[in-house]
Chains A and B, each alone.
Chain A
Amino acid sequence: MSENQLRDAISEAITDNEIILFMKGTPEQPACGFSARTVGVMQALDVSFASVDILPDPRIRQELSALSQWPTIPQLFVRGELVGGCDIVMEMYESGELAGLVGAEAAAPAAPEAPDAPVGQDGLLQPENRLA
């Protein structure tokens, strides 16, 4: 895939998914604390979101940042617009703005542990919830 095709594919993913998170690793297995915290917030809000792991090909990050004009990962997009990275997402979560933006039920900002997160058969929470 050429750089241009890659950029088009990223652009399409942003347009086609109401909520999409570009991150290091996956929601199940985040590879960076900032990505993990951002996933934790989305899970606490109990909204579904698409995610893209930028690690497999360094060009993904390069093209994403060229497109968004934002240097760092993670990057959360809602309805085609860059909401921000980890700091902005955390701040907007705590103020309640993020819940409004993503149309989540007003989740208690003081409980990022996602009280209704699925509990696995072994009784352990998902790693990203523990990190949140």
Chain B
Amino acid sequence: MVPFLACIVLFLFGLYAVLLKRNIIKIIIGFSIMEYAVNLFFAFAGFKREALAPIITDVGMVRNFVDPLPQALVLTSIVIALATTALMLALAMRIYEKYKTFDIAEIRRLKG
């Protein structure tokens, strides 16, 4: 139970950075923290005591594996996180070119 709650606390730290930081780069770091928190959660969800990594190296092996599915899910969510982080950084670069700042308080040409 404790590791799961720790993941949620980590998630909230990331959310704090996203919602309250003014620097775009720090917001992006906040997203990374949230993604790691969820990935960690998946890894904990698949954990089994005294189990092996889910790799078959021999045909007649005893199969006491940890749940391999969360690892596949984490891999997928890492790929998505990679795509979103790259897109966010690209947007941040273009925004810096236009506004010459990373401070979201100064990036306010849109009303509302």
Binding partners A and B:
no
